[in-house]
Amino acid sequence: MLIDTHCHLNDPSFTDTLPDVIARARAAGVCACIVPAYDRASLARTAALARQYPDFIFPAYGLHPWFVGHGLDIDELRGYLAQPGTVAVGEIGLDFSPECPPPEAQLGPFKLQLDLAAELHLPVLVHCRKAHGQLLKIIEAYKGELRGVLHSFSGGRDFALQFIKLGFYIAFSGSLTRTTAKKYHKTAAGIPLESILLETDAPSIATETTPASQVEPRHTLEVARKIVDLRSSTFEEIARATSDNARRLLALKTVAVDGRPFA
């Protein structure tokens, strides 16, 4: 069984197809999805989905760096995080790509959300683009008070190893499956298996076989198979290790993988 640790089933594009998307995910061996909110409007949608599919959709709540212009309402966020079943603070992060809000607008909301995660003892789901050096410095300042995952990791093996030392996991998405993604291949082959998670970031990231708009949680299987190839491993080993990693980080006590309840 596989766990998609980051997908946006709360994206409006899934509204009409969700029962089929979930059925296809289950048929592909995906037993759970972590669904992070990203803007203010997606908070309520995410909570509703988690109530509708309590054994399959596990919610996270946060304000993504692309949407800091919406304003962070920390009390509203705290209310969502307090709901039973919440697994993480996210999606939060830093994105210093030129088309994004300026770094100085992103840093305040990001740090406030990290503080909240540390206070509530929740892991963080972090989006990071072109900001890995700054992110590392910020996370280092929390000195073991924070744990989490760098989702759809793009920072290369050296950064990955430094984040792992700070207690973070590294998640790979469909970008890893592309034959040209040599830097990602080197990262996935060169870090400890105990730190690797699978995800799709559906519907945002294309795989080698599928355009982004058609990517669903079932494509977690394609990411898993790529890691099997890159590490010369077996499917069983990769599936078991990545699922155990996800359950450990996110305390997914209700997800039994291969019939083994998580202790």
Instruction: Compare residues 91 and 95 and give the one whose CB is closer to Zn ion.
Output: 91
Cβ of residue 143: shortest distance to Zn ion, in angstroms?
27
Chain centre distance of CA 223: 14
Distance CA 237, CA 180 (A): 25
Query: Which of residues 81 and 257 has its CB atom nearest to Zn ion in the complex?
Result: 81
Report helix angle 103-120 to 132-140, nearest 10.
40
Of 174-203, binders to Zn ion (CB under 5 A) are 201
Question: Could you tell me if 154 and 129 are in contact, meaning their C-beta atoms sit under 8 angstroms apart?
Answer: yes
User: In this structure, what are the phi and psi dihedrals at residue 185, rounded to the nearest 5 degrees?
Assistant: -60, -45
For the segment 108-137, give every residue that binds Zn ion (CB under 5 A).
none
Binding mask 22-61 for Zn ion (x = CB under 5 A): ----------------------------------------
- The answer for residues whose C-beta is within 8 angstroms of residue 244's C-beta and 6 or more apart is 257, 262
Q: Residue 39's closest CA among 75, 71, 17, 81? A: 71
- Measured from the CB of residue 151, what is the shortest distance to Zn ion in angstroms? 6
Q: Which residue number, 4 or 91, has a Cβ lying nearer to Zn ion?
A: 91
Q: How far is the CB of 10 from Zn ion (least distance, A)?
A: 10
Segment 73 to 102, residues that bind Zn ion, using CB under 5 A: 91
Kindly state the smallest distance separating residue 8's Cβ from Zn ion, in Å: 6
Cα distances from 65 to residues 54, 177, 186, in angstroms, run 28, 26, 27
Q: How far is the CB of 60 from Zn ion (least distance, A)?
A: 10
Q: How far is the CB of 34 from Zn ion (least distance, A)?
A: 10
User: Quick one: 93 or 187, whose CB is closer to Zn ion?
Assistant: 93
Nearer to Zn ion, 4 or 201 (CB): 201
Residues in the interface with Zn ion (CB under 5 A) total: 2
Nearest to 117 by CA among 151, 163, 80: 80
List CB contacts of 228: < 8 A, sequence separation 6 or more.
234, 235, 238
State which residue, 199 or 222, has the beta carbon closest to Zn ion.
Answer: 199
Asked if residues 83 and 119 have their Cβ atoms less than 8 Å apart, the reply is no
Enumerate binding residues for Zn ion (CB under 5 A): 91, 201
